[in-house]
Structure 1
Amino acid sequence: MSTNNRNSLFKKIIAIVLGFGPGIFAIGYTIGTGSVTSMIVAGSTYGMQLLWVLFLSCLFSGILMFAYGNYALISGETALYGFKKHIKGGKILAILIIIGISLGQWNSLMGILGISANIIYELAAIYIEQLVPYKYETVLGVAIFIIAVFYALMLVGKYSFFEKILVVFVTIMGLSFIISLFFVHPLPVQVIEGLIPSVPQVPGGKMMVAAFVGTTMAAATFLSRPLFVKGKGWTIKNLDQQKKDAITAAILVFLISGSVMAVACGALFYQGKPVTQVLDMANTLEPVAGKFAVTIFFFGTLSAGLSSIFPCLLIAPMLLADYQSGELDTNSRQFRIITFFACLVALIVPVFGANPIEMQIMSQVFNVFVLPIVVLGIILMVNNKKVMKGYKTNLWVNIGLFAALFFSCVISYNGILALIDYF
């Protein structure tokens, strides 16, 4: 292949990656260290048994992203602003959603920062043994540095800027996990069996199912989509593009998350080594593939964490702006104060030296309780002829939305049982 052809192919790949729309934020929200942690813990503990939960979560996520995106392009309104304006009791509904999602995402942010800082420490400790006695100090110092850099980047505050940074992190993450799959992988029969619905009948099994849905079918992903669609500058002319973007995002979330679960299953499940600490995540690949593979997998996990910090910091000011006017002003005083407070919250796990993996899984479980309200809200909006300006929502989309509502109610009930068992 000539140099010109190579350059041309490289430019085409870069153009495809950069041409990816608001779906990149969906991947950033969905595949963070929360998702990676859940997938590694599930793969190492239950093999591929929960693959069916991941499949259904991604399927319903794609439908909800499509519905929220279409609603935004046709009505010209954002989600919470629309709920407040068009649904009876919508103000209370919107405020409950803001509180529920913000708390869930901030909880998640603590775990994300804790795991990301631990990963950098573990990666450094592989090559610099002198760091081993100073774990707490190193982890805390790294956490403060990461959150300070991200807060500084937040102040730049442009949609296109956030999107470009996320593209880089998500690309590194996806490639790292898929490359890792070449080193270790489960048996094909396990993958097929994993698509048959079953819940592990062991302590923590229900918690894991709820955490899976909480991280993969994240309410924040759908509610923020109208704002990101508007931020991209899309209009009613981009309906087809919006549909492709939602489908692509859902497929990529399934492939990347499934790869992580499969790697953990192949490396640890057969050896009976469930993951409970960040160091266990470090050992996912080392026995079979050496330090090089560990480094690749770590970069993927770190990229997953860093790609989630932006969306988690953005969520509270974004939902508040959505409720107030439907417009997000990233240069406002309100935006800077709320994101600064979120940065302080993020440091709780590193400061107290808590186990970030346990914190991360717990936060994912709490995310499922807002989900039924968020699904019900969009069902009411897309079937309101006045709001949708005469546009009729497809029967299959409605069937998908009602199935998603039923699924979210079942998982929320399951989450309540899991928390009762835990406490």
Structure 2
Amino acid sequence: MMIQRLRLFDVTLPLVHGFETSSHRKTGLNHLLVELTDADGRVGWGEIATPADPYYGSETTRVAWDIAERYLVPAVLGAPWEEPAELEATWRRIRGHEFAKAGFSAAAWDLHARAAGVPLAVALGGTRSEVVAGVSLGIEPTIDELLAQVSRQVDAGYGRVKLKIAPGWDVEPVRAVREAHPGLDLHVDANGAYQDTDETTAVMRALDGLGLTMIEQPYAPRDFVAHARLQAGIGTPVCLDESVVDVADLRTMLALDAGRVLNIKVSRMGGLGSARLAHDIARDAGVPVWCGGMHEFGVGRAANVALSSLPNFTLPSDVSGSDKYYARDVIVPPVVAHDGLVQVPTAPGIGHDVDVDWVLQNAVRTLDTAAVAA
């Protein structure tokens, strides 16, 4: 197999409800879509779900476009490959830029699965026909508004809710949600907003008493020692996200007992191949995993659904229905959740068609190697 044509689309879509984390608030998303076409005219799609600003990590949409155009596009065009790992190997010497790599990786896996006539989930080794979905809720102006958002998602059938927290917005809003929903699968995510201080330890111990499924990424990404110290002092599992960029980080987490749950994000880990490897390592270590999201459009969300069908994804994943985020998604049909469950597609590849006309209507720039060659 060989890639004959490649297109990039820089696409912006508004969110149906603004979303605030410990670092910033966003009302829309700007992601890149990758389309790979082989010599037989088969197409695979991937999504580069970089944030627009360097708050989650150092990679941004502008940076990802530059890396894709200057390095990834030349690497994959005309390179012979049969398995996705062979195409992923063409960019191995590029350090970092996991989000950009992940978009190309997902497109390669989608194309590979379509060529084989199998669903992406099957190509990855998935075993589930449906996955349990959870929702992630941002920081709201008031606790009452947060409670209304939680109730809305519980009424929609979601059994797991993740709450974003930050210094000054933590114990009281979480306690209010717990009191309103005593049986809810509830966890919190700080995105590394806390310092390792006595004051923070008191906050974490208070959260530890609220029956949470996990406390996700309280400290800075590289501070494995602080996470290990926290995990030793509380009963609630610590979950790592930003800390684990590759399998070496995962092995550090395991060696230090810095976390007992892993959030696997395809984007953060540089693609489906590395995400699957992290799943296998965590499974062998007895550490449960779940698939986190970056508010992906439908292309990336569908890839996450496929990944979540692997057997060690035993916790609800961030693969809620597209309608929670976008009035109109870029795939047809959109990802849909019923009673908190998302069906794993059985059609080849990601199992959805991409609405190219809608993509073009919302694209602020495009790159087409066929046009460049002409």
Please classify the TM superposition score into its range, dividing by the shorter chain length: under 0.3
Higher helix share: 1
Higher strand share: 2
Calculate the TM-score normalised by the size of structure 1.
Answer: 0.23
Calculate the TM-score normalised by the size of structure 2.
Answer: 0.25
